[in-house]
Structure 1
């Protein structure tokens, strides 16, 4: 039975959620169900650390087990400011409830009776792309072959292109970080975190908004001027693609070339001039050669450089990036 405090939270959170849904999507959303706090506490064994899939700065994603099947539970941390946690969780519910794409984790429902809403997604495996790429985070993960990396890049590109072109108002993800991609039991890559996502107003090409995110993944025009649009996401995707190809974190790449003052495009161009073999993950180079591999590496590194161009106008659209990656993947 819901407590008095729980009923107050349901009314307060429900009102905020409805207001945001009306503002951004005319009140429309996919059907989602309501979970009780008790249900989710039981499903996660009282949020046992053994069930943690992802630890973020502001939330944890847990494995949960119910009679009708496994779930993933996104719960914001107690040390996060309540105001910020509420804002991010409501934002995530609003955007995730619009999604219908195979490379975006499906939102099943939420719990509004807690002070900060809790999100419930379809079940995912206990790893992220960070586990697969940063070698070797955990001994059970084998190095990814180039073909698998291109498949992941293609799937993520498809998801971001859907955000940009699948709605009347383009959605900008703003979330690029090592734990941002998870996998289902068929090893399909899925986006899931829309805590910071924004929608571009109708008739506008961009919005100006306070800078938020990890410094190394932020596009220059957003970092310097607060200008945010689809090309900001393209830059973040370029960082993601570079990490897939190099097996190295962007922060490590930037720190290795301090004279470039965070201009990632210059660093990557220099790497290509020196020969892409010097930047590509050695485990890729050590793979058995096959027809089309060199073409894949050349095309992928060139696409990554275009995506992180200092000039937003010179970056491709995500649809173009997705098409190019699909062509690369087919060379395998």
Structure 2
């Protein structure tokens, strides 16, 4: 043991561990969050739901599980129709694990129960204290994981549904980033605010969705998939990645999530409108098979721009 570590510090950490373990256990017991699954089984389903290209070795390393135990657990999931296993595309010695439709429904249900439970817990905390609580939790996680001292990895990024405050974050970050990087005025913030407000007030959760990319407990990216006016078309909107999180493939993952969702719920095509100055985003769209339909100069957001319409035929790209 480090001689500098004080006995008082050890006592405080042990006391916190006991308190938090009892708190989480009480929440789980009172609401039966994970029934009929154990906590570990629920953690595996959660990882699979948020890392669509995971293999067994990744799960074992991420969750610190014994290989034999994990193998038995995955066999149980496969027998129950929750997962499918196949050789990895990158390394045939590895086994790729993906959720089935039933598995995704199960993971979504567990996630919903967990969110409701945490929401109930936070409801007992005065609103003024909630930012301090979440910041303290983030500090604990960052300090103990050493995330302040290491370079973020692609696998550290989580794609999730928006929580309280995330839709407001989308408006704020779009406005701030596009002003800083392209000099756009508040007209763009007004446009984004209307798009987000329309989604928040009236959207079909079966056909429309928002994804938030999270890194080290903070949002670093987003994208929306909403119904377009054209029959059978989905519209991709508001793709954004924070500057300090670029280079981790977040934009690709967000667009991929949007396209896969649109295809899965039966849309015929995905369309989007962007501007030619957004070159990084356009390269992502091209990599995913979008084709340029046309472009037109316009004056918007205080700048002279060239708007572009792009389209992806979801049936033509399906393997």
TM over 0.5: no
Q: Which has the higher contact order (CA 8 A, sep 6+)?
A: 1
* Structure with higher strand content: 2
Q: TM-score range by the shorter chain?
A: under 0.3
Select the structure of larger CA radius of gyration. Answer: 2
User: What TM-score does the superposition give when structure 2 sets the normalisation length?
Assistant: 0.26
* Structure with higher helix content: 2
